[in-house]
Structure 1
Amino acid sequence: MKFPLTAEEEEFRCNIRDFCADNLPSEISEKVVTGVKLSRDDYVEWQRILARGGLLCGAWPAAHGGHDWSPIKAYLFDEECGRAGAPWLLPFGVNYVGPVIHTYGSEEQKARYLPEIASAQTFWCQGYSEPEAGSDLAGLKMRAVRDGDHYIVSGRKIWTTMAHWADRIFCLVRTDPDVRPQAGISFLLVDLRSPGISIRPIMTMDGRHDLNEVLFEDVRVPVADRVGEENGGWTIAKFLLSNERLLVAEIGKQKRLMEAVRSILSGLADGDAPLSADRAVQARIVELETRLLALEWSALRTVRAAATGHPPAAAVSMLKVRGSELEQALTEFAVEIMGPEAMVYAPKMGLGDADPSQVMRNGAMARMLWARCVTIYGGSNEIQRNIIAKSLIGF
């Protein structure tokens, strides 16, 4: 059963699939598929390959170097790249701050920042969460006090993904503490090399360093690097989050995980019988595939609705909840069927090894541990359920 796409959309999907097959370096896709940590150069190389192919910023307006992709084309691009084993397309520049700048930025900001994003020359990160303001984003406390042509910024951002690799960070800051929380926030673009900024690593339970705490101590940021009006940052924050959450179900990645589970299962046995013949295992596979199909259709319907306006907040939140829960279920099931073998992690194992099912088992525990965070980032699932309730029930 396939979601109805137009002939043009089907052709677009095939073109993206072919591009990935022809241009995605095998040494990078092998790392993605086998759970090996990617380097900064891996992420940047793939983004530059996409940029040279004219695909990195395809969803941007043509006036700013894009192709005016429809929401469905942006979805299909994301799905095919994820399924091919491409690195996560770092969204902070392309999908987050880029659209913010070309929608709300000054002409000077557009001329300065957009070309660098479109060519993958600048590595961005996102400064939203704080120690006391994660899911409650309006509770942020990092201050920015006006001093002539600059703001003096002090405070902390936390869980900042890849800040240790980034060149710049976009931040929500409090510029007026005396009004209601949403009304006193501004949106700043900050050079991470500015004096007064320090970055502390946060190690995750899978032993990786992707997250950071970023400390600002009297950092001078030009007023010219404020996007939009002073105290108008909440509107921009909501705009950015709507872009972030629309593709949050990561269907391509989910399909790749489903294929990995099947590959793992093909090499496992219960005594003399293949484990895939076990009725309980078969029932679980059917359940997971049904959930994936339902998620895919829900995502496509939501993306289709986005072509004629903003989809309902409840629909986008449902994608976040169901997508993150499915990723956890898939990675947990892989560990369950493997048992102690799930602990094996050989960083140099590649797809050229003789047993593909063994390759797919590599790093299963690390993938499961990482998946614990997907119900938290991008707006925790508890907050998403509140949005759903408010939207549909009025609570």
Structure 2
Amino acid sequence: MDLAQRVQSLTPSSTLAITAKAKALKAEGHDVIGLGAGEPDFNTPEHIIEAAKRSMDEGLTKYTPSGGIPDLKEAICKKMKEDQGLTYSQDQVIVTIGAKHALFTLFQVLLNKGDEVVVPAPYWVSYPEQVKLAEGKPVIIQTEEDQQFKLTPELLERAITDQTKAVIINSPSNPTGMMYTKEELEAIGEVCIKHGLLIVSDEIYEKLIYTEEEHVSIAQLSEELYNQTIVINGVSKSHSMTGWRIGYALGNSKIIKAMTSMASHSTSNPTSSAQYGALAAYRGSNKEVEEMRTAFKERLNKLHTWLVDIPGVHCEKPKGAFYLFPNVKEAASICGFDQVDDWVKTLLEEEKVALVPGSGFGSPDNVRLSYATSIDQLEEAAVRIKRFIEKRNSRENMEV
């Protein structure tokens, strides 16, 4: 039996492939250091866990409204007002099964066949695939490393056609960790207003910033941009709640209503106890969030220093998220590889360090390293990578 064309068009995940190989090596007893994790290595704060338990003890285990419980919607609106000065009402909010589900549902209700969505590269791996699943066309724009991998108004303008319906902005970015400034967002916003484009603003890493700069949402820059922006966020990264699967979208009430209707036929509602946990996350102290951010900042500073000391590795220092995205094309060449993907595969086989190839993010000369693990593991990973390059380089020179 043939599968649906929409599934056949999906690109296999390089992230899953390298993860599967790393798990197989671990199962064989090898000491594998995995730097592919897209989640904090801290446990969920205790007051959130207790709130979820309490909700179950109190019998709050039934169906909830498809778009989320009113108290959580209200807490999300309050958070947006306090953090970004943005005013939303409950009919402008949908609570979803993670931010990924919010994005998926948005594209399903937004796109008709052939509609185009501008996706700056490097991109999070699921953006293009979700657009394709909605029968849309992802239009990939390659950004420049010396411009910190950021979309510019000029690049956006050149990509727009009569079929362009939306553009994705991700700040701080997965996989690069880079952030847009207020001025950069204003310039991009002018182009979006000019062409009537919906802005999909993925802000899931907004609490994980390691400079003095503050997170800026493009929705807060003007009334027009507020009206043309759907904000995507959640508690997965900020409160180490990846497995709880609670995200949300905010914006135009007509779009949110359509998303809620679709969710009612696909998922019924987000898990009730997880919603009460998220409610506690937004009503409670941010002490643990700040502690986690401080730890990530220390890891970033150390790992970046170690990486740039490795021959052939070039790396812009990011400002947020918990990833580094170094260019290792020269390192791969030193080792005798034409493709970075092959370099990554051999590094895992010989030194047991698992990185994620940048090809899955639309940037084949790079790799993504997560520093959501201990400093000791990060230091050992850097030692192994450097040893691998030096060893391979010596071998290449001997063969010459």
**TM norm structure 2:** 0.24
Higher relative contact order (CA 8 A, sep 6+): 2
**TM norm structure 1:** 0.25
Where is the helix percentage greater, Structure 1 or Structure 2? 1
